[in-house]
């Protein structure tokens, strides 16, 4: 993990952001990410992101829950310790449907949420670099991976697209353990400043 060079531009309007994303991609710059205060519909497609397959994961967790419930209950009430309950057959399927349903939902919901947190790397005490502090408030922050190219050129390009407050940042892209109430020196910075 190392610090990388980025160019950050802020947008105030969705209607400016969308054409800008298109132009930036067309110009061949690599968008690291766009940080938005709310879910902007269609932005993921505009940026060329792949559809998430978190639904499929949810389906798989769900049928795991179904199988667990039916498997456990039928083993317990038919094999392990059969009891005559209300004169019903040992394999009393209608009476098991409620618990089966609940476990299906439980497995699916818990599994999906954990998958979500894992994929997005979200957890208590996780700290990430914030490019633009107001991007959780009212700013759409576009972050371009500058790589080895000239930042000034990108800055000019972004400004032409209507971005404000365009600047360059060196930042860590991953996450580390920490809290937000103190500044932290991450690692010993071994990279050489290029700019």
Site for other proteins in 151-180 (CB under 8 A): 175, 179-180
Rounded Cα distance, 131 and 123, in Å: 19
* Least distance between other proteins and beta carbon 156 (Å): 24
* Least distance between other proteins and beta carbon 92 (Å): 6
Nearest residue (CB) to other proteins, 101 versus 153: 101
Site for other proteins in 97-136 (CB under 8 A): 97-99, 101-103, 105-106, 108-110, 112-113, 116-117, 119-128, 130, 133-136
Nearest residue (CB) to other proteins, 3 versus 128: 128
b vs e for 78-98, b when ≥16 Cβ sit within 10 Å of the residue's Cβ?
eeeeeeeeeeeeeeeeeebee
Position among 1, 27, 30, 138 found at the interface with other proteins (CB under 8 A): 138
Determine, following the binding rule CB under 8 A, whether residue 42 of this chain makes contact with other proteins: yes
- Phi/psi class of residue 9: alpha, beta or left (left: φ > 0; alpha: ψ in -120 to 50)? beta
Q: Note whether 11 and 20 are within 8 A (CB).
A: yes
Q: Note whether 64 and 71 are within 8 A (CB).
A: no
- Phi/psi class of residue 167: alpha, beta or left (left: φ > 0; alpha: ψ in -120 to 50)? beta
Nearest residue (CB) to other proteins, 152 versus 184: 184
* Least distance between other proteins and beta carbon 193 (Å): 24
């Amino acid at each position: 993990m190392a610090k990388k060079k980025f160019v950050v531009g802020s947008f105030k309007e969705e209607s400016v952001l969308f054409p800008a994303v298109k132009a930036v991609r067309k110009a061949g710059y690599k968008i690291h990410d766009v940080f938005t205060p709310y879910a902007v519909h269609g932005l993921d497609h505009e940026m060329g992101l792949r559809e998430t397959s978190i639904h499929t994961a949810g389906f798989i967790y769900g049928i795991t829950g179904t199988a667990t419930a039916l498997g456990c209950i039928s083993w317990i009430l038919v094999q392990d310790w059969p009891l005559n309950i209300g004169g019903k057959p040992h394999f009393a399927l209608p009476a098991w449907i409620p618990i089966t349903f609940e476990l299906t939902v439980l497995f699916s919901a818990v599994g999906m949420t954990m998958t979500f947190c894992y994929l997005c790397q979200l957890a208590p005490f996780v700290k990430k670099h914030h490019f633009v502090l107001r991007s959780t408030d009212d700013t759409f922050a576009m972050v371009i991976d500058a790589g080895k190219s000239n930042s000034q050129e990108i800055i000019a390009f972004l400004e032409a697209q209507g971005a404000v407050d365009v600047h360059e940042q060196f930042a860590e892209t991953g996450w580390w353990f920490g809290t937000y109430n103190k500044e932290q020196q991450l690692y010993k910075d071994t990279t050489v400043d290029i700019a």
